[in-house]
Structure 1
Amino acid sequence: MMRKYKILSFLIVLLGMLCINANVFALDNLEAEKIQFEKEMTKKHVGKTYWIHSSFGKYKEDGKPANLPNLSPAKITKITHSSVGIPRVYFISNGKTYYVEIFDKIGSKFSFNWHFIQQNPFKTFKFSKSIWDKIKQEKITIGMTKEAIWLSWNYPDDVNKSVGSWGVHEQWVYGSQYLYFENGKLTSWQE
């Protein structure tokens, strides 16, 4: 009987050691993934100038929210992780350092591509001065193209599309606001 308890005790200790080793391995693996992510993102983005896409989610170095104009140039300076492991992208805009925390999922409100436009939008798109002014202020107006709306308000939460003999109708959903397009131009919206 005593032998069974010793074997059982030994197995419990062994199982505990395996669990601890598995947790250490998982933590080491997570740390390795973070380091790899930083290396890849640093190689791809640091030193490059992009354009701020949306004022949402940008912070000053002291952690206070930053009020940066949409489409301002931003030079990426460093990519690290926050104290809780969230990827953090540091950049300089208008001579000051800011950061944004990201999750690498295209279209997510926390992805790199949600926060930065990698090609100069002023060279890529041809809009009138009044449309550019609306975009910079993150405002919309009837007649804007889908590209202008995307530059102004970023990715929609959802898109609903109807195609028929009349053309293409789309509904872009931003929270509780609905934008309606006919053949690529904004025709109305609902708040």
Structure 2
Amino acid sequence: MLSETTGEKYLVLSHGDTNDEYTGFKRTDHPNKKLFNHDLCGKILTVVSESYNTYSFVDSDNYTYTYENYGGGDIYFLLNITDVDNTKKLFLNKSLWINDNKVLKPYNKLSKILPARFERVTVINILPSDYHGTPVKFIVKTAKGDTSECSLNVSDTNRGDSMFNDGDDYRFGSVFFDKDPKLTYHLSPAAWAAVRAKKIYIGMPGDALRLVKGAPDKINRTTTGYAISEQWVYGYSYYYFRNDKLTTIQD
């Protein structure tokens, strides 16, 4: 919701063809004027306030605008540039480790090999993307010099029902670890081998299942004098643990 980002900045994206109007957007000193790409595209707008799904913005020249978002949901042509700036401060020139590489793609023709899972990469640039739902573009480089890119959602701002069905794949935590997982998760060689192969086996520890399937939707826990029993819920599948060892799988 943009109402939760008062004071944050948004980049106005191109709204299709040059003749397409930014419907619902008005400049307050010319409320009857229709606004097109040449009026808005590329401007940086700051959220001033929100009232009953009408948002107020101000640009760098102190012109004010309103946008009536009566349908609710995303505003397709506004990209959260504050997310980009904050992410750059956190991660530019820092190391990340690959969690899942399926949304990565080569950054240029010279780079054909994507980084493997758990491989360390260096963030060499962070840029605005061209899609509001995944506003932050990461460009990363492996130790061998291969570069790849992906655009991610880092805050869920301005990202609603319109997001593609596999939107969770484009969250930061789905693609990257910010710490070396081999130092974070203390697993046996057999468990690491299963994680790399994305295989689940009876007896595997909870951290290994989490690395294979991601965080569960819910964990139900029972503690007795003899054991800690847990039920991990993934949709309609259930994984049962006793003292952190997988005992039963119910699909």
Q: 1:67 to 1:96 in 2, by over 3 A?
A: closer
Note if 1:51 corresponds to 2:67: no
In structure 2, the residue matched to 1:28 is: 44
Larger CA Rg, structure 1 vs 2: 1
In structure 2, the residue matched to 1:96 is: 146
2:128, 2:136 within 8 Å by CA — same for their partners in 1? yes
2:92, 2:126 within 8 Å by CA — same for their partners in 1? yes
Q: CA RMSD in A?
A: 3.5
* 1:127-142 aligned within 5 A: 127-142=187-202
Q: 1:79 to 1:147 in 2, by over 3 A?
A: same
Aligned equivalents of 1:79, 1:137: Cα separation in 2: 31
**Could you report, residue by residue, the CA deviation over 1:116-173 in whole angstroms, capped at 9, with x for unpaired residues?**
11111222232221211222223222222221222233333x1241425463322231
More helix by share: 1
SS of corresponding position for 1:168: strand
The aligned amino acid for 1:29 is: L
Note if 1:71 corresponds to 2:126: no
The aligned amino acid for 1:113 is: G
2:99, 2:176 within 8 Å by CA — same for their partners in 1? yes
Note if 1:82 corresponds to 2:143: no
Note if 1:16 corresponds to 2:76: no
The aligned amino acid for 1:172 is: V
Aligned equivalents of 2:206, 2:155: Cα separation in 1: 22
1:69, 1:137 within 8 Å by CA — same for their partners in 2? no
In structure 2, the residue matched to 1:159 is: 218
Aligned equivalents of 1:103, 1:43: Cα separation in 2: 16
**Could you report, residue by residue, the CA deviation over 1:12-32 in whole angstroms, capped at 9, with x for unpaired residues?**
xx6413x759x959x632799
1:38 CA displacement: 1.9
Q: Percent identity?
A: 19
Give 2:231's match in structure 1, choosing from 136, 152, 170: 170
> How does the TM-score come out when normalised to structure 2?
0.56
- Runs of 5+ consecutive residues of structure 1 not aligned to the other structure: 1-13
- Runs of 5+ consecutive residues of structure 2 not aligned to the other structure: 1-29, 47-76, 157-167
SS of corresponding position for 1:78: strand
Aligned equivalents of 1:162, 1:15: Cα separation in 2: 58
Q: 1:167 to 1:35 in 2, by over 3 A?
A: closer
Q: 1:48 to 1:28 in 2, by over 3 A?
A: closer
Q: 1:34 to 1:15 in 2, by over 3 A?
A: closer
The aligned amino acid for 1:53 is: N
Aligned equivalents of 2:84, 2:45: Cα separation in 1: 14
- The total of aligned residue pairs comes to 173
In structure 2, the residue matched to 1:61 is: 107
Of the structure 1 ranges 46-55 and 178-187, higher mean CA displacement relative to structure 2 is found in: 178-187
